[in-house]
Amino acid sequence: MTDAKPIRVWDPVVRLFHWSLVAGFTLNMFVWTDGALLHRYIGYALLGLIAVRLVWALIGTPYARFSSFVPTPGRLFDYIGKLLRGREPRYVGHNPVGALMMIALVGLMAGCGLTGWMMETDAFWGNEAVEEVHETLAWLILALAGLHIVAAVIESFRHRENLILSMLTGRKRAPVAEDVNHAPAADRR
Ligand code: HEM
Ligand code: HEM
């Protein structure tokens, strides 16, 4: 533990992206599920958000960048090994397994949006296979999101910090020597 002030980790783009993704997905999955106008607009908005986030992963603040969180296979397996022994270090940014989950969720969401758009094109109009893929991707996202939330709660207890609150405020506990920090140049304020 440290008495140092919390640092800024998740910038407003990351936080807005995250909670908009959650809201848009929830609306399309449970509220406007019929593929009508609102469903389509929300789907396109989600695709737009993903495009912005991908650009932000190249030019954004340090912890938002791919370079700070996409794990090498070595780092990923090292982390999984430590996780299985209950000795995983605290990451200031996304941990390697969390990063993998993020990439999976964003990839599946993009696939869901693209198959949604395909259903509206002349080439795939009424194509049941595309419809099936669209729905399957949505259910897969739901299942992975469930796992993602459970993992966020467990890791919050393990490292004694509320990761969900951090996704709202952007702030996290200042790192100590044992923590892994791949973006030490982050804007500390
Ligand atoms: C990326 C976010 C999206 C999610 C999570 C999503 C989710 C879903 C789900 C779960 C269903 C099945 C509803 C049910 O049968 O109860 C569905 C149906 C549908 N979606 Fe999406 N969707 C998304 C984006 C889109 C987009 C961008 C379009 C079109 C531009 C679209 C067009 C449709 C259509 C036309 C249906 C009805 C298919 C049918 O006739 O059964 N969706 N969507
Ligand atoms: C459909 C539902 C969800 C999707 C698709 C989703 C997706 C994501 C993505 C893409 C990120 C990475 C953010 C970035 O770097 O841009 C992320 C991080 C995070 N999400 Fe979610 N999320 C969902 C639901 C939730 C919910 C409901 C919670 C909380 C109750 C949550 C808690 C978190 C936390 C705490 C992080 C940061 C993890 C870390 O500290 O490394 N997510 N999520």
Query: What value does the CA radius of gyration of the chain take, rounded to a whole number of Å?
Result: 18
Mean pLDDT, range 178-185, rounded to an integer: 82
pLDDT digits (tens, 9 = 90+) for 114-137: 999 999 999 999 999 999 999 999
Domain enclosing residue 40, as ranges = 7-172
Whether residue 189 is predicted with pLDDT greater than 60 in this model: the reply is: no
Report the alpha-carbon distance of residue 92 to residue 185 in Å, rounded.
12
Report yes or no on 73 lying in a domain: yes
pLDDT digits (tens, 9 = 90+) for 168-179: 999 999 999 999
Q: How far is the CA of 167 from the centre of ligand 2 (A)?
A: 8
Report yes or no on 127 lying in a domain: yes
Pocket test for ligand 1, best of 47, 118, 134 (most atoms within 8 A of CB): 134
Pick from 70, 63, 47, 68: which is nearest to 13 by CA? 63
Report the alpha-carbon distance of residue 165 to residue 38 in Å, rounded.
30
Report yes or no on 182 lying in a domain: no
Whether residue 188 is predicted with pLDDT greater than 90 in this model: the reply is: no
pLDDT for res 184: 61
Contacts of 11 (CB under 8 A, 6+ apart): 60, 61, 63, 64, 170
Q: How many CB atoms lie within 10 A of CB 172?
A: 25
pTM of the model: 0.94
pLDDT digits (tens, 9 = 90+) for 46-102: 999 999 999 999 999 999 999 999 999 999 999 999 999 999 999 999 999 999 999
Report yes or no on 98 lying in a domain: yes
Report the alpha-carbon distance of residue 171 to residue 188 in Å, rounded.
10
Q: Which band of pLDDT confidence, cut at 50, 70 and 90, is reported for residue 182?
A: confident
Report yes or no on 30 lying in a domain: yes
Asked whether the beta carbons of 113 and 50 are under 8 A apart, the reply is yes
Helix (H, G, I), strand (E, B) or coil at 171: strand
- Cβ of 55 closer than 6 Å to ligand 2, yes or no, is no
Whether residue 1 is predicted with pLDDT greater than 90 in this model: the reply is: no
Nearest atom (ligand 1) to Cα of 112: 1
Report yes or no on 187 lying in a domain: no
Angle at 164 between CA 158 and CA 169, to 5 degrees: 125
Structural domains counted in the chain: 1
- Cβ of 15 closer than 6 Å to ligand 2, yes or no, is no
